[in-house]
Amino acid sequence: MSGVNKNIVILISGSGSNMAAIVETARTQRWQARFGARVAAVLSNKAAAQGLAWAREQGIETAALDHTAYASREAFDAALMVEIDRHDPALVVLAGFMRILTPGFVAHYEGRLVNIHPSLLPAFAGLKTHQRAIEMGCRFAGATVHRVTSELDHGEILAQAVVPVLPGDTPELLAARVLTQEHVIYPRAVERLLGAA
């Protein structure tokens, strides 16, 4: 991450609560002054994503690319890369971006692409993590910030938070408790990456 301006581009598909946590932390922890870092843009594959409206209210540039308008996953990822690269990103942060990315996309941002996953990786990669943890009788669940590689949910672990699985938990109750921890560890992990650059 060279240069004075370390631009962060965040990708979302929904409410963007992790994106908002990162934006708020960037402000309160003075990332611009300390690291020359700022959230330059928030992009989504869904124009109606609630997080886009929130980001616009914060004065952050936004864009939406409808993945259904592209003939292939590769075509969508190529268009997304063009939009991301307009901001010369030091980091590309996946925050509830519900798309499996092509190997070409992952390779293009190698070393700059991070994600948060709602389980204690390497356990429960993929979807329905909370339901699977409850069904397996896990005593603990959690969240993991990791680097993105071409293998789904298998990159270097950057941060984890542990949450107890309580008697009577539903996937929704467990997800809500895990999400509160995601909002803590994701901004911290991004800040550490900025500080190490």
Taking residue 139's Cβ as centre, other Cβ atoms within 10 Å add up to 9
Structure tokens, 150? 């071409």
Structure tokens, 153? 């949910």
Q: Of these residues, 117, 130, 146, 183, which one is catalytic?
A: 117
Cα-based distances in Å from 160 to 90, 133, 189: 22, 16, 9
Does the annotation count 117 as an active-site position?
Answer: yes
Q: Where are the beta strands (DSSP E) in 13-166?
A: 37-44, 61-64, 89-94, 113-117, 140-147, 157-164
Active-site residues: which are they? 117
